[in-house]
Amino acid sequence: MSDRNIRVEPVVGRAVEEQDVEIVERKGLGHPDSLCDGIAEHVSQALARAYIDRVGKVLHYNTDETQLVAGTAAPAFGGGEVVDPIYLLITGRATKEYEGTKIPAETIALRAAREYINETLPFLEFGTDVVVDVKLGEGSGDLQEVFGEDGKQVPMSNDTSFGVGHAPLTETERIVLEAERALNGDYSDDNPAVGQDIKVMGKREGDDIDVTVAVAMVDRYVDDLDGYEAAVAGVREFVADLATDYTDRNVSVHVNTADDYDEGAIYLTTTGTSAEQGDDGSVGRGNRSNGLITPNRSMSMEATSGKNPVNHIGKIYNLLSTEIARTVVDEVDGIREIRIRLLSQIGQPIDKPHVADANLVTEDGIEIADIEDEVEAIIDAELENVTSITERVIDGELTTF
Amino acid sequence: MSDRNIRVEPVVGRAVEEQDVEIVERKGLGHPDSLCDGIAEHVSQALARAYIDRVGKVLHYNTDETQLVAGTAAPAFGGGEVVDPIYLLITGRATKEYEGTKIPAETIALRAAREYINETLPFLEFGTDVVVDVKLGEGSGDLQEVFGEDGKQVPMSNDTSFGVGHAPLTETERIVLEAERALNGDYSDDNPAVGQDIKVMGKREGDDIDVTVAVAMVDRYVDDLDGYEAAVAGVREFVADLATDYTDRNVSVHVNTADDYDEGAIYLTTTGTSAEQGDDGSVGRGNRSNGLITPNRSMSMEATSGKNPVNHIGKIYNLLSTEIARTVVDEVDGIREIRIRLLSQIGQPIDKPHVADANLVTEDGIEIADIEDEVEAIIDAELENVTSITERVIDGELTTF
Amino acid sequence: MSDRNIRVEPVVGRAVEEQDVEIVERKGLGHPDSLCDGIAEHVSQALARAYIDRVGKVLHYNTDETQLVAGTAAPAFGGGEVVDPIYLLITGRATKEYEGTKIPAETIALRAAREYINETLPFLEFGTDVVVDVKLGEGSGDLQEVFGEDGKQVPMSNDTSFGVGHAPLTETERIVLEAERALNGDYSDDNPAVGQDIKVMGKREGDDIDVTVAVAMVDRYVDDLDGYEAAVAGVREFVADLATDYTDRNVSVHVNTADDYDEGAIYLTTTGTSAEQGDDGSVGRGNRSNGLITPNRSMSMEATSGKNPVNHIGKIYNLLSTEIARTVVDEVDGIREIRIRLLSQIGQPIDKPHVADANLVTEDGIEIADIEDEVEAIIDAELENVTSITERVIDGELTTF
Amino acid sequence: MSDRNIRVEPVVGRAVEEQDVEIVERKGLGHPDSLCDGIAEHVSQALARAYIDRVGKVLHYNTDETQLVAGTAAPAFGGGEVVDPIYLLITGRATKEYEGTKIPAETIALRAAREYINETLPFLEFGTDVVVDVKLGEGSGDLQEVFGEDGKQVPMSNDTSFGVGHAPLTETERIVLEAERALNGDYSDDNPAVGQDIKVMGKREGDDIDVTVAVAMVDRYVDDLDGYEAAVAGVREFVADLATDYTDRNVSVHVNTADDYDEGAIYLTTTGTSAEQGDDGSVGRGNRSNGLITPNRSMSMEATSGKNPVNHIGKIYNLLSTEIARTVVDEVDGIREIRIRLLSQIGQPIDKPHVADANLVTEDGIEIADIEDEVEAIIDAELENVTSITERVIDGELTTF
């Protein structure tokens, strides 16, 4: 048996899929909060790689506090313009010098932000539609970490913190997640009127699922109100169709419900994001690390995006617990729902959490005792391999929002 | 019967008090995230009052995005100094002109921030230890609200959002909440070495409660390491004693556990907050509106601090659901735990939520049916009186973090 | 006779060319102060054109206060990097709305800045090596100007101000001016190691002219110290040769005199400008509108770059007086030196200055009386045509620094 | 004889007092440009003193680039308010660490700015009416200076630069200078309606002097238009009377000439400075180091305010040449006007300028030869004592604008 403090227990209550009311939300890639998450995380990855390239290990940094101040725009059918630019401030700490080697943390951050914005928001021009500024204070030298060195050891927990992960997703969760991904993927490639700021909210009452989608339409691809209505209808149809892949329940899809055509109030943007007109954003206020906001489930308040993946225990445990939950559900039969919670113990190695807590709802006919050992073994193995989380974060393989 | 869609149902699971593991956290007033929450909310109140004074109603604004960029300090026994100032950016939207009346939203915001900082962090000098800047964009004119006028009506929901509230607090929650409040109250008045940035974490496993407190000590009141140790011991003893008021369980108290006296690593500050040295902060990343972070309970991601209390449905419903939960528990016997969730319906009056959902754990021998009507009547009455939430927020009677 | 108050008088003193000691300086295009001048003026032109395009006339604006905060760089033979970005703040006033038409003044300014930086400093990457921010306040509506309308009239002076111009340039002045232009022109095209931040100082004592040139070398084109020395020697030779086109006096040329090869102190940059490492800049602190700093001559303190060319009398009179001086010297024989001063009269049409003052040194054998009428007629005609200055500024035909 | 290269020669031309047209300007203490000069210089003094206190010598810094971005105000008879705050950015370089001692350069700068603003603009509230931010880059360590140590030596010139000074002031110059000082001194103490932003322009044609004064009146001390007219009349009378102390020529005084009472356009402010409404400012664009802008005289473009007084040769030579000119005129009879120019030689001790150039206009009957030795001896002595300039700057005894 492992010497890790792993507990496997039945869940307190019904599986979320069986609860009467379920609420799920996803803020898409171009939403101001997600944009901040994405930039913070992209900056973090770029810094981590730069440290490894230049000094052979990841030094102390945290860039989890990007703040976006909205601009003003004058969208118009056929193409409008940004009037006052968006302002985006990347803040945090970074080690700027190590044993005589200078690390240009601020220009690395700006380049990462440009790259991310160019990829994510093709209609937002870096430097003119959005002014990106950076204030990275100097990190304390004594917090330098040793990830990336030969013979790396397991870091110690720097804080008392906890992470939580769930699996599998409910039907409503999958619809919400996949709808945004598909709309922001192939669908908007084929339908450029569909912008990147897409917010999807799912509400299930019993067997009735309402999916409410807010899509920032891109004005240069919308000629008139008819074109706008067609774009809205297209999204509605697409999401309704997509939902049938994930559920047999009744699904109603609503798109841009705040529009009022009589008053000319429609969700038209020049850049594909509401950040152009009044919607501020910041890191850690949107999706949790599984890509969703799920008030029916335990959530951590921790902002994972932008945190140093070597020693920030809140980030590591949120990502790891989600990974564990998914692996358990994939590999062990008979589980309807699992929740994994990892609680750190300050000053102890991060592969030895204070508690690793698995709560399960099993299929009918399956007892906890039947699968307990299997589940515990997976948790044990994943904890042993905790530093792979760090590698995968740096390589961009794990998403944080 | 009310025409509101109110449901009263048994909870899915055990009461939190009876769960095996419970985690609770509170970031105290001087924590960088709480500081941002407090300033955002104080600015909001000041703006709301200014609108009422000048034009008779609250106009459109939102100031829920304050960002704090940490400074650098050189604390020292007997008194050190701030080296690089903290930078604090108040952002958001505000209506600056209404029917010819100018409203100096930015100077109002700065004055509110100064007032709040002076009250909350007596050792942090506004304008030199912390540079406070402000960027308030112009809000759209068509969102002007009518709160405060004679014959006020109930506003319409501006969004699909939800709020959640719980009652009563568990023992662990009460200890965490009251310990911070007491330390930041009379205790620090009497013991000025105790700074305002106090973070309290409670972890209960079965009947063992660990309370971990991190206190930023104020250097001018600490002469040497002995003095520091005495201050730490004082806090430990005080919290251990306080805990006995709220529980009979075993309580262990740990204070400033990251200290390493041999290496001279102690939690000493010049200003009483870690914002002076490396810890950034922003709104909505700390305590929920009941003052706590409670991963064992449903939480909303909504940042309530700084939001307009007239029409921001996420703010109103989070505060209101908490109020309802408390009232129900106060007035109805036989409830061990209640959770209230309010889900808004866009375009409908805010006193008519899409769903008002009460989940209860009752005392032994009490059935839901016994108290259902009573509970529903309280919810109905509170919803009818929803606009009183707005008034109480503006008057500073309700806390948001 | 004209009704303009024109005076033609002998100069008080010797022509500058005959004075014993003469000092002349030019800050080249890539100097931090000149960069601010250039951006301010480029933004001004872009705004003026946008106003004409959108509302048919130039509205109130002034953008004469660009501030540059230097960055940090780590230049290295073969190519170094910018460590901390340069920060550039474009400030001023602009009209953002006129009779319902929105003018995106801030994004226009940012685009103009990007265009100018890309053209002027090919090695400085906009948005990452330099963060450009903008704060344009709203100009007062009642200052809207009518330039560009049909039947345009001559504007009134908005201030009591004065302008001064001289002609012809002395030999030393021509050498200084032409050396920088040639180095920043064909020479650096052929010798890319020569950066854009070139400062030229000329000092003449009697018939000995010292030309001191400071050139920011571009590291990616300099392989080693030998390459650096060769680049320095190339500049020295080129300027020495160029000087012979303008003078028969003795000319000594000194390049990068602050270098200390033994200590490895050389003027090597990554971006071609000292703004990358410690040298701040702002508008109006460098060259006067004739492109030179000339302590031997009357100068105006007025910052001409970035000022509104329709109604800013200081800008117009500095440019006009220089134009007049040049025209008089071109068209009238017998003048060794002329100084034109124009003093405005607040509230009067700008073609009617309070005083237009011409001071001449004539060739031997020529009396003022011989040429007075001719000179006065030219001044009169130029003043009558004053609004052409505005047009030529907007079209970018007149330089301001 | 001295080994310094001192030349004493007749001036090229008439004394300014005898020229036909003379123009003089002074921007008073509360003018946005002067405010920047004053803050930059006050910050510089505070830094210099802090370096001496903490490490025994002045380290490298320059703070000569303060930028002010104007606010918006709504002045009103009896008292208005600031609507959008003024933004003031202190930039430059400073050494922040020296042999293990940290110097809190940024908080020192902010404290100095607060002190200066509180003293100079009593109606402008630091931190709310004006947001003061600071960006001080790290200065290069190898430029650390040794002023203040025992056995201090004379520093070397860091640049090729020049300074120029004149004496005595003409009548017009004295009137302009003394009028502003008196208005900003006892007069405004007795007449608080007179604000601190006072601009005085003097124009002399022959024996007619026009003095134009623009005074920002302070709204809380002006009840109505009658009160305003009375305040304007008071200033006019006071200046007219003051002028008689300095001249027998005809003097006309004009106050707030841009007012238009019919249109309600008057120069009323809430804070006593035009910075509150649309007028930006920056260092080095206003008064030269003798307190005046004098286009009839040689001027240096050098911004003296905020420069390091130990090694910045442009600052030292501008102040020193002015001191020399005054001393010569005080101590040597028979001089109508003197101009002193000092040209530095890079890498040479600053007490050995490349050229020290004195140009004189003598009284009738006095030849240069009569006084040449006396003048040269004074120049020689002053140069020998050049480091006293540094001390007096740090002690605040010398003004720079």
Interchain contact, D280 vs C164, CB within 8 Å: no
Nearest chain C residue to A110, by CA: C128
Q: How confident is the model at residue A289 (pLDDT cuts 50, 70, 90)?
A: very high
pLDDT tens per residue across span B193-232: 999 999 999 999 899 999 999 999 999 999 999 999 999 9
D362 neighbors D334 (Cβ within 8 angstroms): yes
Closest C-alpha among C349, C370, C345 to residue C360: C370
**Which tokens in the block code for residue A183?**
């709309």
Interchain contact, A303 vs B285, CB within 8 Å: yes
**Helix ranges (DSSP H) in C254-344:** 313-331
**Which tokens in the block code for residue D277?**
């409404």
B305 neighbors B284 (Cβ within 8 angstroms): yes
Closest C-alpha among D39, D64, D72, D42 to residue D279: D72
Phi and psi angles of residue D269, each rounded to the nearest 5 degrees, phi first? -135, 160
Interior/surface letters A368-388, b for 16+ CB within 10 angstroms, e for the rest: beebbebbbbbbbebbeebbe
Cβ partners under 8 Å of residue B130, min gap 6: B71, B85, B86, B87, B88, B117, B124, B275
Cβ partners under 8 Å of residue C82, min gap 6: A104, A107, C71, C72, C73, C128, C129, C270, C271, C276
Looking only at the bridges linking them, the beta strands covering D335-343 and D281-282 are: unpaired
Nearest chain B residue to A12, by CA: B13
How far is the alpha carbon of A291 from chain C, nearest alpha carbon, in Å? 30
Q: How confident is the model at residue B346 (pLDDT cuts 50, 70, 90)?
A: confident
In this prediction the pTM is 0.93
CA dihedral A224, A228, A230, A235 (to 10 degrees): 160
More reliable by pLDDT, B247 or C311: B247
Closest C-alpha among C158, C140, C180 to residue C28: C180
**Which tokens in the block code for residue D9?**
């020669």
**Which tokens in the block code for residue B365?**
């021998």
* Interface chains of chain D (3 or more CB pairs under 8 Å): B, C
Instruction: Write out the residues of chain C at the interface with chain A, using a CB-CB cutoff of 8 A.
Output: 74, 81-85, 87, 96, 102, 104, 106-107, 110-111, 114, 126-129, 131-134
Q: How confident is the model at residue A152 (pLDDT cuts 50, 70, 90)?
A: low
One digit per residue, the tens of pLDDT, for chain D of length 401 reads 567 888 888 876 788 999 888 999 999 999 999 999 999 999 999 999 999 999 999 999 999 999 999 999 999 999 999 999 999 999 999 999 998 899 999 999 999 999 999 999 999 999 999 999 999 998 654 444 445 444 457 888 877 788 999 999 999 999 999 999 999 999 999 999 999 999 999 999 899 999 999 999 999 999 999 999 999 999 999 999 999 999 999 999 999 988 989 988 999 999 999 999 989 999 999 999 999 999 889 898 888 999 999 889 999 999 999 999 999 999 999 999 999 999 887 778 899 998 898 999 999 899 999 999 999 999 999 999 999 999 999 999 999 99
The Cα–Cα gap between D243 and D253 comes to 9
C77 neighbors C224 (Cβ within 8 angstroms): yes
pLDDT for B148 beyond 60: no
D90 neighbors D66 (Cβ within 8 angstroms): yes
Nearest chain C residue to A127, by CA: C127
Closest C-alpha among C155, C167, C156 to residue C378: C167
3-state secondary structure of A159: coil
Strand partners, D134: D90
C371 neighbors C184 (Cβ within 8 angstroms): no
Cβ partners under 8 Å of residue D16, min gap 6: D22, D170, D294, D296, D297, D337
Instruction: Map tokens 């033979």 to a residue.
Output: C77
The Cα–Cα gap between B375 and B328 comes to 6
Q: Is residue B244 packed enough to be buried (19+ CB in 10 Å), middle (13-18) or exposed (0-12)?
A: exposed
How far is the alpha carbon of B200 from chain A, nearest alpha carbon, in Å? 11
Which ipTM score applies to this complex?
Answer: 0.92
Binding-site residues of B for ATP sit at 137-142
Q: Which of C53, C72, C82, C83 to mutate to test the interface with A (most CBs of A within 10 A)?
A: C83
- Tally the C-alpha atoms within 13 A of residue D281's C-alpha that lie toward its C-beta: 33
3-state secondary structure of D156: strand
B110 vs D74, D96, D128: nearest CB: D128
Interchain contact, D131 vs B134, CB within 8 Å: yes
Q: Is residue B53 packed enough to be buried (19+ CB in 10 Å), middle (13-18) or exposed (0-12)?
A: exposed
The Cα–Cα gap between C239 and D284 comes to 31
How far is the alpha carbon of C13 from chain A, nearest alpha carbon, in Å? 52
Is the previous residue joined to A168 through a cis bond, with omega within 30 degrees of 0? yes
Residues of C in Cβ contact (< 8 Å) with A130: none
A114 vs C82, C102, C128: nearest CB: C128
Q: Which of A114, A128, A136, A138 to mutate to test the interface with C (most CBs of C within 10 A)?
A: A128
The Cα–Cα gap between A312 and A288 comes to 16
D325: number of Cβ within 10 Å: 26
Res B161: pLDDT: 83
**Which tokens in the block code for residue B380?**
């109905």
Interchain contact, A107 vs C132, CB within 8 Å: no
Is A157 labelled as part of a ligand binding site? no
Residues of D in Cβ contact (< 8 Å) with B127: 110, 114, 126-127, 132
Strand partners, A269: A218
How far is the alpha carbon of A295 from chain B, nearest alpha carbon, in Å? 5
Res A12: pLDDT: 65
How far is the alpha carbon of B391 from chain D, nearest alpha carbon, in Å? 26
Residues of B in Cβ contact (< 8 Å) with A303: 285
Q: In whole angstroms, what separates CA C174 from the centre of its chain?
A: 14
A30 neighbors A273 (Cβ within 8 angstroms): yes
Residues of D in Cβ contact (< 8 Å) with B84: 104, 106-107
3-state secondary structure of C173: helix
pLDDT for A36 beyond 50: yes
**Which of the 8 DSSP states describes residue D120?**
H
pLDDT tens per residue across span A44-88: 999 999 999 999 999 999 999 999 999 999 999 999 999 999 999
The Cα–Cα gap between D211 and B247 comes to 82
The Cα–Cα gap between A34 and A380 comes to 33
How far is the alpha carbon of B118 from chain D, nearest alpha carbon, in Å? 13
Res A398: pLDDT: 94
Is D141 labelled as part of a ligand binding site? yes
Is D334 labelled as part of a ligand binding site? no
**Which tokens in the block code for residue B215?**
């206190």
**Which tokens in the block code for residue D16?**
């300014």
pLDDT for A140 beyond 60: no
How far is the alpha carbon of D249 from chain C, nearest alpha carbon, in Å? 20
Nearest chain C residue to A72, by CA: C104
Residues of D in Cβ contact (< 8 Å) with B96: 83
How far is the alpha carbon of C334 from chain D, nearest alpha carbon, in Å? 20
Closest C-alpha among B335, B331, B328, B329 to residue B365: B335
C1: number of Cβ within 10 Å: 8
* Interface chains of chain B (3 or more CB pairs under 8 Å): A, D
The Cα–Cα gap between D201 and D214 comes to 9
The Cα–Cα gap between B232 and A338 comes to 40
Mean pLDDT computed over C88-106 = 93
Q: In whole angstroms, what separates CA B189 from the centre of its chain?
A: 22
Q: In whole angstroms, what separates CA A382 from the centre of its chain?
A: 21
Nearest chain D residue to B97, by CA: D83
Give chain C's count of helices (H) and strands (E): 8, 18
CB pairs under 8 A between C and D: 142
Is C391 labelled as part of a ligand binding site? no
Interchain contact, D104 vs B83, CB within 8 Å: yes
The Cα–Cα gap between C166 and C22 comes to 15
Q: Which of D285, D315, D361 to mutate to test the interface with C (most CBs of C within 10 A)?
A: D285
| Amino acid at residue number B39 | I
Strand partners, C124: none
B301 neighbors A293 (Cβ within 8 angstroms): yes
CB pairs under 8 A between B and D: 67
**Which tokens in the block code for residue D271?**
């804070």
A272 neighbors A218 (Cβ within 8 angstroms): yes
pLDDT for A141 beyond 50: no
Interchain contact, A131 vs C134, CB within 8 Å: yes
Residues of B in Cβ contact (< 8 Å) with D132: 127, 131
* Interface chains of chain C (3 or more CB pairs under 8 Å): A, D
pLDDT for B396 beyond 70: yes
pLDDT tens per residue across span B3-61: 788 888 887 678 999 988 899 999 999 999 999 999 999 999 999 999 999 999 999 99
Q: Which of D97, D125, D128 to mutate to test the interface with B (most CBs of B within 10 A)?
A: D128
How far is the alpha carbon of B106 from chain D, nearest alpha carbon, in Å? 6
**Which tokens in the block code for residue D217?**
């009146």
- Order of strands, sheet of B162-167, starting from the edge strand that comes earlier in the sequence: B6-10, B355-362, B335-343, B162-167
Is D139 labelled as part of a ligand binding site? yes
pLDDT for B143 beyond 50: no
Res C141: pLDDT: 46
How far is the alpha carbon of B60 from chain D, nearest alpha carbon, in Å? 17
Mean pLDDT computed over A324-332 = 97
Mean pLDDT computed over C318-345 = 95
Instruction: Write out the residues of chain B at the interface with chain D, using a CB-CB cutoff of 8 A.
Output: 74, 81-85, 87, 96, 102, 104, 106-107, 110-111, 114, 126-129, 131-134
Interchain contact, B128 vs D134, CB within 8 Å: no
pLDDT for A335 beyond 50: yes
CA dihedral D238, D244, D246, D252 (to 10 degrees): 70
The Cα–Cα gap between C254 and B99 comes to 66
**Structural domains of chain C in order of their starting residue, each with its CATH number:** 6-14+159-169+285-395 (3.30.300.280), 32-140 (3.30.300.10), 171-280 (3.30.300.340)
Instruction: Write out the residues of chain A at the interface with chain C, using a CB-CB cutoff of 8 A.
Output: 74, 81-85, 87, 96, 102, 104, 106-107, 110-111, 114, 126-129, 131-134
The Cα–Cα gap between B213 and B202 comes to 9
Interchain contact, C74 vs A102, CB within 8 Å: yes
Residues of D in Cβ contact (< 8 Å) with C357: 21
